[in-house]
Amino acid sequence: MKNVVLCGVLGSLLLFTTASAPYAPAAVHMTMATLHAAALTAPTGSGDTDDAPYLLLSVLGPGADTASLHLPSTGHLSIHLDEALGAGPLVDLSLQPGDSVRLLVSVLEGKQVRLSDETQAAASSTRTLGQHPSDRVTALAAVLAPVTQQDAHWIGSAALLITNENGAIYWRGLDCIATCKVLNPPAGTDLAPGAKPVAGVVELTGGGGTYHLQLQGTRAS
């Protein structure tokens, strides 16, 4: 009888330990696969023959966590008409089951680098992700005003939703916020470890330009 009771206690303890063991977080790698300039933004002078785009990335989640990035970190890119820039990293995410993360990607262009204003605009843009979709354009325009009022072009913005559903990672949303059109929504399949990246493409048409931005999500673990 003592052996039976002992086995029962050990079995219950093992079951409790297994049930309460924490899940390993899923690592998701988001990248800019390509940035293509089908048309350049309105020139700011007679010698303006190329564009100087940059990306502002705002992250909301998991939970109340927030983050923001200026890409590239210390300046602007350079792109010519009909040129496509190659792949570059956006952000690495870590999601537990039940977590969700919203991303806001804004593409701007300007020859003058105003890193302090641009970095602050990325940080301030994060709060617009929690607002009603009908209010986001006005709110985003307000937080980007310190840079757009200084001869910078706002080419467009798009929002993404990444979720962890019982251990499976899904790219659930790719929505346009401003001067944007979804050309290729992300596939509905989950981001499985070792699988091909899931891609989404948007067309951005602000400031007189036309850009095609392809984003990709890959599950690293």
Q: What is the pLDDT of residues 174-195, one digit of tens each?
A: 999 999 999 999 977 789 998 9
In this predicted model, what pLDDT tens digit does every residue of 75-121 receive, in sequence order?
A: 999 999 999 999 999 999 999 999 999 999 999 999 999 999 999 99
Q: What is the CA radius of gyration of the chain?
A: 22
- Work out the pLDDT band at 20, boundaries 50, 70, 90: very low
Cβ(156)–Cβ(205) below 8 Å: yes
Write down the pLDDT at residue 46. Answer: 67
- The pTM is what? 0.88
Average pLDDT for 39-64: 91
Q: Which of 181, 158, 170, 155 is nearest to 57 (CA)?
A: 158
Structural domain boundaries of the chain?
Answer: 24-219
d(CA 171, CA 182): 14
Write down the pLDDT at residue 35. Answer: 98
Q: Domain 24-219: which topology?
A: Immunoglobulin-like (2.60.40)
d(CA 199, CA 219): 12
Write down the pLDDT at residue 203. Answer: 98
